[in-house]
Each structure stands twice: as C-alpha cells, then as structure tokens.
Structure 1
Amino acid sequence: MTFPTPPGGRGQDGGSAPAGQSLSAWAAGLPRQQAPVRPAPAEWAPPPPAPARRRAGVIDRLDAPDFPLADYARASADGADDDRTGRMPGIGDGPPPPPLPESTTPGAPLPPRPRSTWSRMQRRTDAGRHASPDEEPTVAHPAVPPAGGDVRAATAHDDDTEGHPLLDEQTGGLDVIVTDDRARRSRRSRRAEHHDEHADEHADDSADDSADDHDHPADDHGDSARPRRRRRPVAVVLSLVVLAALVAGIVFGGKALIDLVNPADEDYTGQGTGSVQIRIAEGDTLSDIGSTLVEADVIASVGPFVDAAETRPAATGIQPGVYGMRQQMSGAAALDLLLDPATRLFSRVTIPEGFTVQRVLTRLSEETDTPIEELTAVAADPVAVGLPPYANGLLEGWLFPATYDFEPETTPQQVLQMMVARSVQTLDELGVPEADRLRVVTEASLVQAEAASPEDMAMVAQVLDNRLAIGMKLQLDTTVNYASGKSGITTTAEDRANPSPYNTYYSAGLPPGAITNPGEEALRAVLNPTPGEWLYFVVVNPDTGETRFAVTDAEHAANVALFQQWLRENPS
C-alpha cells in the first residue's frame, strides 16, 4: 500500500507535506470520497503477530509503530454515516477534532479504514444489506491459530477478509464462543473416563449406567452426574434368603424357648391308673404341688391343675403330707383326689395329757404300726431323741401331749424327736427359764395327775407350793402308784411304804422328775397358781372330778369321808 505524497513533505515514496503542517493534519483534511483504495505493493509485509498470551486489540494496534494513524483520523470524520463521535472509545477524553472541509483534496488517495470490532458490531439498516460498502457480514473464526501458526491459513475461506493483511493476521477484540455441543462433548468425555476407571468394579452394571446416561444426560442438569449403583440380582436374592432364614429362626427358636420355660398345657384324660406316693412339703404353693405331680407323672402339665384349683377355694387348704395318687390323671381328677382326706397317707396319733412314757410308746406303736421294741430302744437314748440337758436324762414329762400326723416313712427316732421338740417349744412360748424348767415340768406332772379342770389345777398348784413352803410332805397317791408301777386312785399301806424317791409319802419334796407328760394347762397352773391357804385337797367324786380343798385337818377329814362314800357306792 502507498500513500499520496503530501505537498511540502515527504511520505513513504519520497513526497513531503506543506510547510508548517504535519502529515496527520494534512491527511485528516482529505475528503472520504477522494480516498480510493489501491492495491498494496508487493514489498509490503505484515507486522509480526502478537504474543501467544495476549490477543491483539485496538490499543495494541494503536501502539504499533507501523500502524497508520491517519486512517483513524479519517474514520473519525465519518460521523454523518454512523452517528459515531469521531473518536475511538476509550482513547482520550478530549473533544473530537473538527471535520475537514470538503474542498480539501489530498495529494494521493488513502487506503480504506481497517476493520475492527466496533465496525463488526455496527447496526444494520435493513435485512440482508449493510449500512455502507465497508460493512460486511460478521463471521466467527477460531481464536487460536492452527498448528502451523498461520492465521491467514485459518481464515482463507473467508472472502470478506481478503485484501486486508492486518485483519488476516490479527483477530482484534472478538472472542470465540465455545458452543454447548463442544461443552457437552467435554463433559461426556470426562464421564467416560470416570466410567472406564470403575469398569472392573461395576462390570455387571455397565449396561444400566449407559441407559441411565442416555435417559438423564449430564447437560440436562448442568453438571456431570455420578453413576448410580444398582444391586446385583444374586445379592438381592441372597439377602432375601438370609432374612427369611433369620425370621424363621427367631419364630421357631422363640417357640421352642417358650415351650421350654412354660411347657404347653397338655392334659391327660380320665382318673389314671396304678398308684404312686407324692409328698407335699410345708409352704408349697399350687404351682409347686403341680410341679411335684408332673415329676411323678400324675398329671401332664401344671396349667390344667392350677386352672382347676383356681375354681376350688378348698384347694388352698391342702395339707402337707404324703398322698396316695394314680398316674396319668387329668388335672381336675388329681385335684379331687388331693382334697379327699382318705388320700393322705399318714398316721394321726393323739397323745392325751397325763400319759406316762410307757403309755405314750404303746399308743404310738398301735397307731403307726411300729414295733414297741423299736420305740422303747430309742426312748432309752436321751441324745437320740433330742432331750435337752436340763431334763436330767429323764424322758418322762418331755413327750408333749398333742395330736400328731406321722407319715409312713417316719422313723421311731423322728417320732420321739418331734414330741420332745414340741415340749421345748411350749416352754419357750411360756417364757420358762431353763433353770426352772425341770421343776416346773415335774410339778405340772403332779398337777396334771391330781386335777381335771384348769381351775382345780391352779388350786392344786397352790396347795403344793404351800406344803413345800412349810416342809410338809406332799403325800400324793399318784406318786405312790407311779413308784409302784400301778394305776388307780387308791393305794395300800404297803405301797405307801415304798422307799422310791417318787413316793411322796416316803420322800419329802418334789420327786426327781415328772410322773406324767403334762399339757399346757398344767404348766400354766404351776406358773400362775390360785392364791390360798389350802394345805389339803381330795377328789370326792372321781366320775365327775369334783375336788374339795381344806385348810385344817378337820375340814380335810370331812372331805375324805365323802370320797369313801363314793368308793362304797362304786366298789369296782
């Protein structure tokens, strides 16, 4: 490209500008229509491309040493066509230069204005046409040069840029916009790489992941979606099988545990067969009794027995002991048998007050079918029967009179032990000190043998205390008969002469031990005698037990006469 030679100055072809006028001022006064475009000379070469890190812009071109500033001065004067201010945006803030007069004729025509970003953004006047011959359709070009670095090769297809080497070499301020298709392909590439990294781990799920990517593309959400994991069918089936097995184990295991802790309420039918003995201990509840019956195969389970007992109030009164039952009975039938007194297997023996040891052993032998020899042998051993030390080794007086229930397997030793223990228990309840127990039991045995009613017992006990207090012999016929081994209510002179310590006619004071086994009333009478001065008493009517008490000998002799009259009336 060559410039016209300005008058009075030198241009690039050796011309010169008029004196006193710069080249740029002169060029600015040329009218636009007088600046034809001429082909650029062959020796002209484009400036080197801008550095790779920075794109060439308008400011860069203005700073270039070979950039024709006169072209911009020319462009600024063209304000009537495009309403521009005549100055580059962002270049200076001063007022635009005045327009050149139309009569000014340059010495040579100027080249056309270079195309820039602003000329490409100029508004069109109508559809399909441009406002001026210089405006041409804008075509986007790659912002980055091809591999060879030749910008012209990348834009050779664009006919609009031919003849403008500066535009062929520089892209100006236009940035290339990457389309959504390209961004979509980039995201799909990254997702494909992520899928390849986990291909071995999710080989069975690859088909489902592809279908999921197709149905839900990443660009629909604006971000790459993480592929969802799906359970393998085999794993799901195995999980269901394990869960079903676990539930079944809980159900059947729980049922087995319940049956073990609380067996099913099975029940036999009928009255049962055979015979078996079961023992009910002291304090057993209905459930305890039912368990004992189950162990002996009397009933099948506890439930039916307890259910039947809950409807029978008498069931709470089942006594301890041994019962004769049958095996494989219904719960209700077993309950009926337990409530029958005849079912209980025991020997009930009643020992009256005032029995001697010999008479007690005889009664026990008769009632329990125990040989008398076995009972006598055990009675001779104070330690075996549990006799307390203060009893002085004497069993008489320590076999407490009461009613006893002895079970079939009870031994003679156990029988006597039970009776001795009952005597000790009664003395404990009465609060008798151990040091006084032998005396109290001995005196109570005398009261028990001489009186029949509690009132007479208390008066007899007072007579004994009164005689003992003055040192008078007791002179009781019951002690004479005990010493002689006889029974009855009378004695002979020979009997009364027996030197036995138990003969109170012969010996003063109390005998060495009891002559009978006193009951609780006789013990209470000794502990609480009726106050009085009586020294004598006599039973005037043995049939009725009437007893007369006297203070003097004359009163006593009158009472004895009444007793003799009864004897005459009852010679037998």
Structure 2
Amino acid sequence: MPDSSEDQFAELFGKLPDPRQRSSAPPSPDAARSEGDPAAPSSRRAARLAAQSTGEQPVTPGGQRPATDPHVPQPTVDALPVAASIPPRPSGLPGESAARPAPATQAASLQDLFTGSVTTEAIGQPPPPTDRRRRRRRGWIAFGIVVIILGGIAAGGVWTWNTYQDRIRAFMGWEPPKDYEAGKAHGEALVTIASGDNGSTISNSLAAAGVTKTPAAFYDMLVKTGQNPTFYPGVYKLQKEMTATAALAALQDPKNKLENSALLREGLTEQQIVKTLSDSLKMPIADLQAAVKDPSAYGVPAKSLEGWLFPAMYTFDPGVTATQVIKTLVDRTVKSLDAQKVAVADRQRVLTIASIIQREAREEADFFKVSRVIQNRLDQGMKLQMDSTAQYGYGEMHDGTVSSSAAALKDQNGWNTYVITGLPQGPIASPGDQAIDAAVHPADGSWLYFVTVNLDTGETVFSTTYAEHEKAVQQWQQWCQGHPDSGC
C-alpha cells in the first residue's frame, strides 16, 4: 500500500486512548514525557522517524525499549504486563501492514477476565447493565402470546369434541355400549304395549321405562338377530336395566302381563289414552270415546278432556264401565292440582303450561327451566314458538319427530304458538306431577331459548341471547346429521 494511506491510519490510531497505559505496569519515562508534550510525535510512524533522526531506539507497544538498549534492565517473562505478553494478531484494516501488532485490548478475551489474568480495563469498557424492566416486559409479552396460542388450541379442541363427539367416538371405537350387561337387572318397571306397536315403538317404550339402556338397544337386537315376534297389547311387569334379549323374553312370557290394568305414561294425548285403555282393559273403544265427549260431566270447564286424564298405573275391578274409568283419571288430575294449591279458576291455565313442559323437556331436572322460559317469554310479549304446540294443532304429534314441518309452523290454529301470541287455547297432552309442579314453580333465570342437542341423552342447552341459541341449534343439527334415525 502507498505510504500516504499508512500514515492516515497511523495518525488515527495515535489519537485513540491506549488502554495499556492503565495497566498495572509502571509507565516508562519516555511515555510520561510524551503525554501533554506538544512536540510529541503524532503517530507511531512519526515516532520511528524521530527516533532514527536522533539515534534513539523506538518505544515498543508495551511502553519499553527493545532489549538491545543497554541502559534499560530487561524484565523477566513473569514481570511483563499481561496485555503486553499477548501475541499480536494481524489487523484487517486496509492500508495497515499485516505484520504490525494489533492493540493489546483486542487480544484479551472474556476467558482471561474470568480467570483473573486481566481486568476490565485491559479488555475495554464493560457492557452497559441489562435493562431488567425491558426484559420483564418482553417476558410477559412472550408469556401472553404463549397463553393465547395454547388457549386457542384448547378452545378449538373443545369445540371439535362438542361438535363431532359422536363421529370421533365411532371412528376411535370409543362408543359406549348401547345395552346393559347381563346379570344387573333389578327392581320393577311397567311397560305398556298398545295395539299396532312395532319393534321400534316398543324399543322406545322400554328405554323410557328404564328397562333397556338406549332407545335403539331393543330394536337393534331384533334386526341383528332377524327376529319378528308378535307382541300382544297390555301392561307388562319387567325389571330395570335388563339386556334387550332378556326384555324380549319377559315380554313373551304371559306371566308378566297384568290383567285388567292400564299404564298411561306422561305426555300422551287424549286420543292415545283412549286407545291404550281400550287395549289394556279389553273395553270397546267406542264406549271410551263416548265417555270423554262431555267434560262437564266430570266438572271440567273446558271443551275437551285434553290434559285432564292423569298418567299413571291403574288397576280396575272387573266389570268397570268406561265412565268410571274416565272419572278415575280426572279425579287423579284434580288431586295433583290441589296438592300444588292451584285455584279452580287457574286449573286450565296451569295444565296448559304443564302439558307444554311435559312435551318439550326431556329430563325432569329441566322441567323447571323450561317453565321459566315459557314465563319469561310470556312476560316480554314474545311468541312461545314451541314445536310441540305447532305439531299438536296441525296433527303431527304422533309422527315420531321433534321437528315441525313448514306447513305446521305456518298453519293458522289456536294451538300454534308460532302464529299466536300467548298460551295455546288448551293443553296439548296429559302432564304428570312433576310437570304440574314446574308450571307452578318455575326456576329462577333469564333464559329465553332452549334446544335439546342430544335426543338420546336428553342434554338440553338453555340460552339468554339469540346468538347463544343459534350456536346450540348448530350443535343439535350436527348431532342429527350423525343420528338420522333418532327422531330429529
């Protein structure tokens, strides 16, 4: 490189402070004389030229003269400063000779600092202290991001499980058994078989009575085994938690059939009750239809006995008449209303609300919540919009589904609460004690909507806002897609 370039960098290095002068080695007289001397050379090259002109030896980077100077005692290796004892390394700066040693501060390392060989002054200015506040802030930000990510993953997993639980269980083989295990039957359960009932209808009746585990257990067993037995109308005494095979055997045994008895389950309509009584008591259906034609004969101030024929297990003496049978059922309803201290003037209204609760609620624990929804909607002037009322008014009550047809929802009749405001013009079915109690004592809450999202288990979601209700409806629709034959 040209000498002019070398002189420029030499002057630059000469202006920088030399940390070696802060080392533990005593400064040389020449170095002390050069400090603050205006005539002192401005660069190392100038110092060499000046030394050559005066005949003196140049000063080494360590602040000492070369060993050839006889007037300077030679120090031992142990007496040399640490910084001066570190071998020089070539500099990569342009214009600087590769043979010239680099400043000693570049040679010292952090390892030398930790071993105690050098001080912080030997390796240069220590780094500034860490901003702990900034570090903590960054740490909390990172933590928050991790929490959000994990929360999103967890929320997505919960939504996926709630939405596709049945499909996941089926794919993974995690589906719970549909039938009870053998040997666990206990207690007593009464089941009514009406004329015209088939395997699917009886399967639902067995599950409702607690005999079989699921509504499909008995029917699936018949299909799997290829059986097509004949069922005779009547009331049968079985046990709870029976296997589907054991239940079939019990229904085929004449000893389990009760004579002159009738079992009326909750939620039946007047038409269904009359037919069940005829089948169970071996009584002409025309006699029973005539007996229910005049409600006033039983002290009922209504146009029909719908809702007044109490559901229960009845056993009658031989030779009982149709009128006596109907009076027994009406008297039992009055007894339930009196137990709840319902005024005579309020009986029809209470039975109407109770009948809707009986048809809409799947589990008795939800009866009081459904009652609150009905009351809240009435208080706010909202239409009840209960599918059970639309089905009853249009004649779809017995089609086996919980959804109403478009025609039923639009039909103009006195029971369709999608059209009218307020309660329907009368009960839509016969409620039991629990439904009547719920009609009189609704639960506390602000719910305005509900939907059963699992028709097998009866799981029902209650909502306060329409947006929440829409999410629950989507959950029900997803369940119905996976269970097309479950009465959706």
TM-score normalized by structure 1? 0.39
Larger Rg: 1
Normalising by structure 2, we get a TM-score of: 0.45
